[in-house]
């Protein structure tokens, strides 16, 4: 499986309490987690995206925090053209490492290397 475990190992972990004897299995899972350097590259990619002009976002709201956009907001334009506060999309991506997708349409946010 993509997580580094077999289907049987995953099913077993779902059906019981995790114990200290599961250390090796958990280490396999940990190897698949995106490390902070990957999260930093997500932040850099967001910062390098073109910014949405003010006239294109006034009257709309961020669909992550549901707060209306303000004149001073600096909004990155995602490849799918959805708009979010910079802090909101950065936090969204940080909480979902290894899966950089738009919160609305699930399209890839960052180019694949």
Q: What is the pLDDT of residues 37-59, one digit of tens each?
A: 555 566 777 777 888 888 888 88
pTM assigned to the model: 0.58
Q: Give the Cα separation of 30 and 112 in Å (integer).
A: 22
Q: Is the pLDDT of residue 1 over 80?
A: no
Predicted pLDDT of residue 46: 77
| Token reading at 90 | 């950065």
Predicted pLDDT of residue 39: 54
Dihedral sign for Cα atoms in the order 82, 84, 86, 87:
negative
Domain boundaries defined on the chain: 1-33, 36-95
**The CATH classification of domain 36-95, taken from the options 1.10.600.10, 3.40.50.720, 3.40.50.300, 3.30.40.10:** 3.30.40.10
Q: Is the pLDDT of residue 113 over 50?
A: no
Q: Is-contact 84 61, C-beta < 8 A?
A: no
| Degrees, nearest 5: CA angle 39-86-107 | 65
Predicted pLDDT of residue 34: 56
Q: What is the mean pLDDT of residues 80-84?
A: 88
């Amino acid at each position: 499986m993509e997580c580094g475990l077999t289907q049987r190992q995953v099913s077993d972990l779902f059906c019981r309490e995790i114990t200290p004897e599961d250390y090796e299995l958990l280490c396999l899972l940990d190897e698949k987690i995106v490390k902070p350097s990957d999260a930093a590259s997500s932040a850099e990619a967001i910062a390098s995206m073109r910014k949405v002009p003010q006239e294109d976002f006034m009257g709309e709201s961020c669909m992550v925090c549901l707060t209306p956009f303000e004149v001073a907001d600096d909004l990155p334009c995602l490849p799918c053209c959805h708009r979010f506060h910079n802090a909101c999309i950065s936090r969204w991506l940080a909480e979902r490492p290894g899966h950089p997708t738009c919160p609305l349409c699930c399209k890839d946010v960052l180019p694949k290397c």
